[in-house]
Amino acid sequence: MERQLLDYILVPTGLLIMLAYHIWLLYQVVNHPSRTVIGINSINRRFWVLSMMEDVSKNGILAVQTLRNNMMASTLLASTAIMLSSVVAILMANGGSNRSAGKIVYGDRSQLGFSIKFFAIIVCFWVAFLFNVQSIRYYSHASMLINVPFKKMNDLRDHHSIHLTAEYVGWTVNRGSYFWSLGLRAFYFSFPMFLWIFGPIPMFVSCVVLVFLLYYLDVTLDFGWVAGASDGEDDHRNVDA
C-alpha cells in the first residue's frame, strides 16, 4: 500500500509540473513572443512568407521545397508515432510487462497499473500522430497558396471577391508549425510515461529534468532583436498560441 501511495503522489505532481510549465510557456508566447523561440520563429515565418510571395517566379521553387522538407519531417514523426503505438499495443496484448518489470518496480505492480501505464504511452503516440497529420495538412495547403502571384492578386480584387493575403498564408504556415511542435511535445510527454513503467520515482525525476531541458530550448533572451519585434500589442496580436 505504501508503494502505491508513491504513484498517487509523485505521478500527479510530475504531471502538474509539466502542465504548469506549458501554461506558463503559452502565456509567454501570447504576451511576450520575442522572449520565446516559438514566438520569434512565428514572427520570422510571416516575414519569410511575405518575401516568398513578393516574386513567385523567383522564389516559388525555394518556398515549395522548404515546405516539402517540413512535410517530410512531420511524416517521419507521424510514421514513428503510429509504429511505436503498435509496438506498445503488442506488449499490452502479450501481458509480459508485469513479469519483466515487476521485480525492479518500486510502486504499483498490479496488472491494472501496468495496463494504465502502457495505455498512457499509447495515448501520447496517438496524439503525436494526429498533430503531425494536421501539420502535414496545413503545410500542404500552404505549399499551394504560397505560389499564388501576390502582386497580380491586387489587380483582381476589384473585380472578384478574392481575400487571399500574405498574412493568411503566413497564418497557415504558422499553424502547421504549431501542430508539428505539439506533436513533438507529445513525444516528450511519452518519456515520463515510459519511465513510469519502472516506478513513480523515475517518472517524477524525468518530469523535473524534462521541464529544465524544455526551458533551455524554449526561452531566449538574447535573440529577440532578430525578429525586430517588441513585446507590444502589435507583435503578439498576430501570434497564435
Task: Report the DSSP beta bridge partners of residue 92.
Answer: none
C-alpha cell recorded at residue 135: 501539420
Task: Report the DSSP beta bridge partners of residue 128.
Answer: none
In the chain the first and final C-alpha atoms are separated, in Å, by 42
Q: Which string of b and e fits 195-230 if b means at least 16 CB within 10 Å?
A: bbbbbbbbbbebbeebbeebeeebebeeebeebebe
**124-154 per-position pLDDT tens digit:** 999 999 999 999 999 999 988 888 776 665 5
C-alpha cell recorded at residue 74: 512531420
> What letter would DSSP give residue 225?
G
**43-73 per-position pLDDT tens digit:** 999 999 888 888 777 777 888 898 999 999 9
**197-209 per-position pLDDT tens digit:** 888 888 999 999 9
Query: At 117, is the pLDDT very low, low, confident or very high (cuts 50, 70, 90)?
Result: confident
Q: How far is CA 11 from the centre of its chain?
A: 22
CB atoms within 10 A of CB 160: 8
Residues 100, 107: Cα–Cα separation, whole Å: 15
Prediction pTM value: 0.80
Three-point CA angle 1, 115, 9, nearest 5°? 40
Query: At 114, is the pLDDT very low, low, confident or very high (cuts 50, 70, 90)?
Result: confident
Residues 54, 56: Cα–Cα separation, whole Å: 6
**162-180 per-position pLDDT tens digit:** 556 788 889 999 999 999 9
**Reduced to 3 states, what is the DSSP secondary structure of residue 157?**
coil
DSSP symbols for 96-153: -HHHHHTTT--S--SHHHHHHHHHHHHHHHHHHHHHHHHHHHHHHHHHHHTTS-HHHH
> What letter would DSSP give residue 196?
G
Residues 200, 105: Cα–Cα separation, whole Å: 9
**Reduced to 3 states, what is the DSSP secondary structure of residue 219?**
strand
Compute the chain's Rg from CA coordinates: 22
Q: Is pLDDT of 101 > 60? A: no
Q: Is pLDDT of 14 > 80? A: yes
Mean pLDDT computed over 16-45:
92
Residues 84, 137: Cα–Cα separation, whole Å: 22
Pick the residue with more confidence: 119 or 103? 119
Average pLDDT for the chain: 81
- Looking at the chain, the whole-number percentage of residues with pLDDT higher than 70 is 77
Q: How far is CA 153 from the centre of its chain?
A: 33
